[in-house]
Amino acid sequence: MKFSIGGSLKLAFRPWVEGLENIPAEGPAILASNHLSFSDSFFLPAVLDRKVTFIAKAEYFTSPGVKGRLTAAFFKGVGQLPVDRSGARGAGEAAIKSGIEVIERGELFGIYPEGTRSPDGRLYRGKPGGLARVALATGAPVIPVAMIDTEKIQPPGKVVPKLMRPGIRIGKPLDFSRYHGMDGDRFILRSVTDEVMYEIMKLSGQEYVDIYATAAKRQIADAEKAAAKAEKAEKAEKAEKAEKADGKAE
């Protein structure tokens, strides 16, 4: 996959990279990145010599039929790890367990602290679960990563990508070993997550919004529904007025 998809991505899009020297040649590390596009999980591994393991919902690996098998093969090939979200605490606990296993193998674990893609290109509050708990449970360094302009290449809902150069900035590793074993303290988890998000903000230059991206998506969806409802009511009112005017004319 690195030679086929990775090579094709680099040839077609020519992504620029800063800070490659911050990725260790060997040993475990957590790559914590902002999340602008579906393609983030392909561009970042494409520019690295080492494999990066991300997490993905288990449904991608269990769909039936030929299409399902091809999808599963594709996600396995690009380093995605299936996470079963059906447990008592859902994807969170599964993601943490998977991340710890990757780190214990001495590999690179990729995670998006925002938990979902940014709905508008801004940087949102990081969730304190997966990233901080994996870092504190393993002692692995956290490397902040900023994806630049990938949302312009393939915005949500767009199938055909736009040919343009995205960028990747890789920051210096952050050491949280002073908190090792304190992954049960929610204040420490919040502090670690906020420190990582601050570094990502500096690297990306994004505007920071102190709410979760999932909440922002709900707000946007609610606003769109309200606008659609208002538009429908306005059209109905105009139609009613037109009908009354026609009746008077008769």
Per-residue model confidence (pLDDT) at position 5 = 77
Candidates 25, 24, 43, 23; CA nearest to 147 is 43
Average pLDDT in the chain:
86
Average pLDDT over every residue of 161-177: 94
User: Would the pLDDT of 122 be above 80?
Assistant: yes
User: Would the pLDDT of 229 be above 90?
Assistant: no
User: Would the pLDDT of 13 be above 50?
Assistant: yes
User: Would the pLDDT of 150 be above 80?
Assistant: yes
More confident residue, 12 or 78: 12
Average pLDDT over every residue of 11-27: 95
Q: pLDDT band at 88, cuts 50/70/90?
A: very low
β-sheet bridge partners, residue 143: 31
In angstroms, what CA-CA distances link 205 with 113, 202, 238? 17, 5, 46
Residue 28, Cβ density class (10 Å: 0-12 exposed, 13-18 middle, ≥19 buried)? middle
Per-residue model confidence (pLDDT) at position 57 = 67
User: Would the pLDDT of 87 be above 80?
Assistant: no
